[in-house]
């Protein structure tokens, strides 16, 4: 008896983001990096052997940078599932005047990417990852003042465009309940530890399964 009919389709999963997505991909012969994208790729390699994962993270990128390279690094690669993970640098790397990205500029650039996808790839599932900081010190804790509004924007856009949502804030809360500390999740407050990446990957896998089911 043949089981071929139930084999999952060969899909291209594309991850667009900043250093958390990048995670050393340019030093990695497999070009996956050493973070949550690699862990997801390992999961997919087991469960969807014909699928491939493309990492298009670039450390330091803001949402404006993601939007600027959206054609080349997303649309031109004809992905079947798109994950966007940006926002923390818009709060963390303030510009020379000490300002973060204005909320309306942030929303405009984020919306641009989702508009491009809905116009050119209407059937493609999209997952948005909520950016987070862990309160390892007062400086990181103070970033919430700026980041929280951007997180609200991402949540609102996820609803408006009916995308999947990888809720990293919920992941953090649940991890702290397990006995994690801010440092065991992201030692510098931003870049996840191995445990942090594993929790993000698990949350993505759960969100992707939910997105499939809709």
Catalytic residues: 19, 188, 191
Two tokens, residue 206: 């759960």
CB 81 within 8 A of CB 14: yes
Two tokens, residue 124: 């493609």
Helices (H), 5-102: 19-22, 36-47, 63-68, 70-73, 88-92
CB 126 within 8 A of CB 114: yes
List Cβ neighbours of 93 (8 Å cut-off, separation of 6 or more).
60, 62
CA 47/CA 204 separation, integer angstroms? 15
- HEC profile of 72-90: HHCHHHCCCEEEEECCHHH
Encode 17-36: b = buried (16+ Cβ within 10 Å), e = exposed: bbbbbbbebeeeeeebbbbb
Two tokens, residue 187: 């030692």
CB 72 within 8 A of CB 31: no
């Amino acid at each position: 008896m043949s089981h071929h009919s139930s084999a999952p389709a060969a899909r291209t999963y594309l991850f667009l983001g900043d250093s958390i997505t990048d995670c050393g991909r340019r030093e990695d012969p497999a070009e996956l990096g050493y973070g949550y994208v690699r862990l997801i790729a390992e999961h997919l390699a087991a469960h969807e052997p014909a699928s491939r994962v493309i990492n298009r993270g670039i450390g330091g990128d803001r949402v404006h940078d993601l939007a600027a390279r959206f054609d080349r690094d997303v649309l031109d690669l004809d992905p079947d599932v798109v994950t966007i993970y940006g926002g923390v640098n818009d709060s963390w790397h303030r510009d020379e005047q000490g300002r973060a990205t204005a909320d309306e500029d942030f929303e405009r650039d984020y919306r641009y990417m989702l508009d491009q996808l809905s116009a050119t790839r209407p059937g493609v599932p999209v997952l948005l990852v909520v950016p987070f900081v862990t309160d390892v010190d007062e400086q990181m804790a103070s970033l919430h003042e700026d980041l929280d509004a951007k997180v609200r924007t991402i949540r609102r856009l996820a609803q408006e465009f009916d995308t999947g949502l990888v809720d990293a804030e919920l992941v953090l809360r649940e991890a702290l309940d397990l006995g994690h500390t801010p440092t065991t999740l992201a030692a510098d407050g931003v870049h996840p530890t191995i445990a942090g990446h594993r929790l993000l990957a698990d949350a993505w896998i759960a969100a992707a399964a939910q997105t499939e089911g809709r």
